A and B are shown apart, each in its own frame.
Chain A
């Protein structure tokens, strides 16, 4: 339960809001490289943290992310002409390069140097493994790119896709760190070994449905252990990573645990479009080898594990069709009757309303991670307001982590016992 004031603080991300300013101190996944694949191709409408932006690739292949509104008379540059190393407004022909400089002002007499005085907000961009990143914060506080395995490894070992989620970012993150719900929301009926719709799942998540939560601070966020009873007095640990400001890593099924069985690691970024919409990014990585084409399609494609989505990255199962819930399948096959893990998550999270009213919740012991998470991010937002910047923003190496699932003896400390599984592989020099 949160006070209405804290709920506002947690959820509002527009310019000038405490949480919005906190997020602006980090690099943010902005769009897929495929969306701006062509030099001089069509500009892309982009909305991030409540700001309307436009993205384009110029003639030289540089990516620009600019304030969407031409500084002249505020026309949306999405309608502009992407030509000869710049985006030209179609209203009066003013032209801007990827850095926001006005490079042409054909509507004014030649002898004025008005163009030199005019500029447009342009945000720095970087490309890593198919993803365009953007930094929307103050220039003097430039952060490091987070060293995720899915960012620094070669593109053929990584996968990235995104889908629209029609609710506030925070209630989406809360699903990502809430290990308790997998015993229910994603459960199949009468089939303990396999998860939902052919997704592999460790059986202990179904045999013990009330995990006990343990939390451990890391340099970049929080490591969350959900402990369940396993056989022979041992414990089954499902260990999730939360990484500031909006990343979560999904515990893989146990098997090898170290990717030796060929199951890729995955995670999410829950990037606010505005207060009521979120880009849910899904990342995958095979540290040891390239994805096969089938695996790549499943992990990153439009109709794979995270899909299916339409041409605008909106899930085909969405709130307009009640996520295609089938009451027959809910009776006979799965807990929800909704197909697809991400669609199940979206259904319950979006159903809370655009911004959930946290003053009317009843949180229990199984919500320990959610409660701690809220306190943590609110704490960082308040600290920044007092002038204390988040340290992990300039510590990209601290993001080289993994989630895991592991069986430990009852007397083994979970942090030590899982330590060999929670760190990413060596970072190639070229990526440093």
Chain B
């Protein structure tokens, strides 16, 4: 069981908190590149409990900084994004993307002190269509961006999905680690005889109580659920947790499943889910007759973004309308009566309360990946608090080369890691990972 004190430690991410300090040492995805236009509107970002603004300057560089002008704390959201800097509309101070004060227009030249003043700007990088932010201490020698397979794919070969969730990051992430819920929340009402034999998800419908294996890794945790596929083989589903916010869930067969799901804390009670998935991975959860399985479609209906702190990437359905729950559908066709896999997850994890009270839980053997991941995180945060050191897997360009979630079938009796490694060898030949140019450049520069 997770104690109240441990829950606090795991869930609070604001400045000065243990988890907040730990998370700030990693690059986090902040926005889509397409959200910022050169000299366009500044965008409000809420990240780790900090109110930030992001903008793209005339030269195309991205700036992300505390939204308060360092002069008198007026919000730079109202600022003018012009000529390679953002200018506060209160007294005209202007800052570049690095936070340097370029102009202090209301101060007599003799008393100008712009060299002393900096806006609190964070490092921002762009790679393959995503804007990343580093909010940690080592701004002079920041770590490289994480070499997660999906994030290394060229922009035009992946789909991005951002969806805001109204609860703490951890309970949201834990949905990706808990592969047991699929047989219920998502496919609980699917009759066995409806699923095609060549759809490997049929095993979820046929056997809803798999057993689990877990091990710690340099980057976090890996786990596998297994159940008999038939008399001679085993059906495996592998998932990974990568520090600090990533879930690689076995949503698809492992040979196709180039997928990463990040759960970026906006504050303690709001999370930005951001998914990168290689195009054409989603084959669709179809029934024998070709129809979609009820309740199992991916169909997020987004609201239009607005400029508020929590105005980006919201779903239309939510707590306000019980996520569109239809009791008649629940009684006949789908387990939850809520339409769409993501919305179902959204309903369950938000329904736990903004920060779920983990002292209420009764964790079962099927929750072993959750238990172990919490422990792994708590130990890593404690170690960071003591020594200031974090897991440094991202320094190795190849550290995540063979890290992919997914499902497959292997001969009965095969060791779980042997079976996994065999799959990853096939994957490497079938679709070699693209070179990690950024990392190579970074390492070259350091040498």
Indicate if the CB atoms of A325 and B78 lie closer than 8 Å: yes
* Chain A neighbourhood of B116, CB < 8 A: 362
- Whether B73 sits at the interface, judged by CB under 8 Å, is yes
Task: Indicate the size class of the contact surface on chain B.
Answer: 20 to 34
Q: Is A17 an interface residue (CB 8 A)?
A: no
Q: In the docked arrangement, what's the CA distance between A185 and B90, Å?
A: 5
Q: Is A335 an interface residue (CB 8 A)?
A: yes
- Report how far A364 CA is from B116 CA in the complex, Å: 11
A348 within 8 Å of B by Cβ?
A: yes
With A183-B92, A210-B109 already in contact, the answer to whether A362 and B78 are too (CB < 8 A) is no
Residue of A nearest to B72 (CB): A361
Minimum Cβ distance to chain A for residue B433 (Å): 41
Q: Which residue of A lies closest to B119 (CB)?
A: A362
Judge whether B109 and A363 touch: CB under 8 Å: no
Residues in B with CB closer than 8 Å to A203 are none
A275 within 8 A of B: no
Give the docked Cα–Cα distance between A183 and B92 (Å): 8
Chain A: minimal CB distance from B305 (Å) = 13
Complex interface bits, A322-347 against B, C-beta within 8 A gives 1, otherwise 0: 11010100100001101000001001
Q: Does B41 contact A (CB under 8 A)?
A: yes
| Inter-chain contact B90/A184, CB cutoff 8 Å | yes
Chain A CB within 10 Å, residue with most, of B105, B109, B117: B105
A363–B71 touching, CB < 8 Å: yes
- Say yes or no: A360 contacts B68, CB within 8 Å: yes
**B281 at interface, CB cutoff 8 A:** no
Interface presence of A356 (CB below 8 A): yes
Shortest CB–CB separation between residue A337 and chain B, in angstroms? 8
CB-based contact A352/B74 at 8 Å? yes
Given the complex of chains A and B, what is the CA–CA distance between A185 and B80 in angstroms? Answer: 11
- Residue-by-residue, is A347-367 near B (CB-CB < 8 Å gives 1, otherwise 0)? 111011100111011111111
Known interface pairs A185-B90, A364-B107. Does A352 touch B68 (Cβ–Cβ under 8 Å)?
yes
Q: How far is the CB of B45 from chain A (nearest CB, A)?
A: 15
User: What A residues does B71 contact at CB under 8 A?
Assistant: 361-364, 367
CB distance from A77 to the nearest CB of B (A): 35
In the docked arrangement, what's the CA distance between A92 and B270, Å? Answer: 46
Contacts of B429 in A (CB 8 A): none
Q: Hey, what's the 0/1 contact readout for B61-74 against A, CB within 8 Å counting as 1?
A: 00000011011111
A residues in contact with B113, CB < 8 Å: 362, 364
Find A364's partner among B73, B80, B89, B104 (CB 8 Å cutoff).
B104
Residue in contact with B72 in the complex, picked from A323, A325, A344, A352, CB distance below 8 Å: A352
Decide if A212 is an interface residue (CB 8 Å cutoff): yes
Within 8 A of A (CB), among B18-72: 40-41, 67-68, 70-72
User: Nearest Cβ distance between residue B341 and chain A, in whole angstroms?
Assistant: 33
Q: How far is the CB of B182 from chain A (nearest CB, A)?
A: 40
Q: Using Cβ atoms and an 8 Å threshold, which residues of chain A touch B74?
A: 348-349, 351-352
Which of chain A's residues have a CB closer than 8 A to the CB of B40?
327
CA distance A335 to B71 in the complex (A): 18
In the complex where A352-B75, A361-B73 touch, is A185 in contact with B108 (Cβ < 8 A)?
no
Chain B hits for A347, CB < 8 A: 75, 78, 89
B17 on the A face (CB < 8 A):
no
Report whether B106 and A184 are in contact in the complex, using a CB–CB cutoff of 8 Å: yes
A271 to B104 CA separation, bound complex (whole angstroms) = 32
Residues of chain B within 8 A (CB-CB) of A348 are 74-75, 78, 89-90
CB distance from B427 to the nearest CB of A (A): 46
Q: Nearest B residue to A364 by beta-carbon distance?
A: B107
Contact A362 B117 (CB under 8 A): yes
Which chain B residues lie closer than 8 Å to A336 at the CB level? 78, 89
Task: Looking at the assembled complex, report how far the CB atom of A318 sits from the nearest CB atom of chain B, in whole angstroms.
Answer: 13
CA distance A336 to B80 in the complex (A): 7
Q: Does A166 contact B (CB under 8 A)?
A: no
A302 at the interface (CB under 8 A from B): no
Q: Which residues of A contact B41 (CB under 8 A)?
A: 327
- Shortest Cβ distance from residue B251 to the other chain A in the assembled complex, whole angstroms: 38
- Tell me, yes or no, whether B307 is within 8 Å of chain A by CB: yes
**A184 touching B109 in the complex, CB below 8 Å, given contacts A348-B75, A360-B70:** no
**Contact flags B81-121 to A (C-beta < 8 A → 1, else 0):** 00000001111100000000000111111011100110000
What is the bound-complex CA distance between A269 and B92, given in angstroms?
Answer: 26
B77 at the interface (CB under 8 A from A): yes
Most buried by A among B70, B105, B106, B107: B106
Q: In the complex the two chains form, is A367's CB within 8 Å of B72's CB?
A: yes
Question: B107 near A353 (CB under 8 angstroms)?
Answer: no
* A352 touching B73, Cβ below 8 Å: yes
Pick from B73, B106, B112: contact of A360, CB under 8 Å: B73
**A321 CB, nearest partner CB in chain B, Å:** 9
Least CB separation from B111: chain A residue: A365
- Asked whether A209 is an interface residue with its Cβ less than 8 Å from the other chain, the reply is yes
Chain B residues within 8 Å of A358, by CB: 73
Question: Nearest Cβ in chain A — how far from B14, in angstroms?
Answer: 14
Contact of A181 among B77, B106, B108, B117 (CB under 8 A): B106
Q: Inside 8 A of B112's CB, which chain A residues have their CB?
A: 364
Task: With both chains docked as a complex, state the minimum distance between the C-beta of B229 and any C-beta of chain A, in angstroms.
Answer: 56
Q: How far is the CB of B400 from chain A (nearest CB, A)?
A: 38
- A174: CB under 8 A from chain B? yes
Q: Please measure, in the bound complex, the distance between the C-alpha atom of A330 and the C-alpha atom of B71, giving whole angstroms.
A: 21
Bound together, the chains give a CA A333 to CA B89 distance in angstroms of 13
For B106, the chain A residues whose CB sits under 8 A away are: 180-181, 183-184, 209-211, 364, 366
A175 to chain B, nearest CB (A): 8
Which of A181, A212, A325, A362 touches B90 (beta carbons < 8 Å)? Answer: A181
CA distance A134 to B109 in the complex (A): 47
Docked-complex contact B70 and A362, CB < 8 angstroms = yes
Q: Evaluate contact between B75 and A351: CB separation under 8 angstroms.
A: yes
Residues of chain B contacted by A357 (CB below 8 angstroms): 73
| Residues of A with C-beta under 8 A to B109 | 210
Instruction: Given A210-B106, A364-B111, A365-B108, verify A174-B72 contact (CB < 8 Å).
Output: yes
Q: How many angstroms from the CA of A353 to the CA of B67 in the assembled complex?
A: 11
CB distance from A190 to the nearest CB of B (A): 13
Contact status A366-B78, CB under 8 Å: no
A361 touches B70 (CB 8 A): yes
Chain A nearest CB, measured from B271 CB (Å): 23
**Min distance, Cβ B312 to any Cβ of chain A, angstroms:** 14
Assembled-state Cα–Cα distance A212/B107 (Å): 8
The 8 Å CB contact of B105, one of A210, A325, A344, A351, is A210
Shortest CB-to-CB span from B101 to chain A, Å, is: 9
Given A181-B106, A212-B108, A351-B78, A356:B72 Cβ within 8 A: yes
Assembly CA distance A185 to B89 (angstroms): 5
| B68 surroundings in chain A (CB, below 8 A) | 352-353, 360
Nearest chain A residue, comparing its CB with the CB of B77 = A351
Q: Is the CB of B91 within 8 A of A180?
A: yes
Q: What B residues does A212 contact at CB under 8 A?
A: 108
A356 and B108 contact, Cβ closer than 8 Å, known pairs A180-B91, A181-B91: no
Q: Can you give 10 contacting A-B residue pairs, CB < 8 Å? A: A181-B106, A183-B91, A184-B106, A185-B91, A210-B105, A348-B78, A348-B89, A362-B70, A362-B113, A365-B111
The 7 lowest CB-CB distance pairs between A and B, nearest first, are: A351-B75, A184-B92, A365-B111, A348-B74, A352-B73, A180-B106, A348-B90
Add 16 more A-B contacts to A364-B112, A364-B113 (CB < 8 A): A180-B91, A181-B91, A183-B91, A183-B105, A184-B91, A184-B105, A210-B106, A330-B80, A336-B89, A347-B75, A347-B89, A360-B70, A361-B72, A362-B117, A364-B71, A364-B107
